[in-house]
Amino acid sequence: MTQCPECEANISVQGLMVGEIIYCPDCNVELEVLSVEQPAVALAPKVEEDWGE
């Protein structure tokens, strides 16, 4: 388990691969898996997808 850098929700990276992009179940931010053996995630690089929402 590690924590979301945005909202500190518990994030499990079990079964994931380094570099994988996941979403925080709490705040839905994009997170990149940095490490699995010593669970660590970081905010994924923001890709601006402005589709005129």
Question: Does residue 4 interact with Zn ion by CB under 5 A?
Answer: yes
Burial class of 31 by CB neighbour count within 10 A (0 to 12, 13 to 18, 19+): buried
CB of 12 to Zn ion, least distance (A): 13
Which of the 8 DSSP states describes residue 51? -
Among residue numbers 8 through 47, which ones bind Zn ion (CB under 5 A)? 9, 24, 26-27
Cβ at position 27, least distance to Zn ion in Å: 3
Footprint of Zn ion (CB under 5 A): 4, 6-7, 9, 24, 26-27
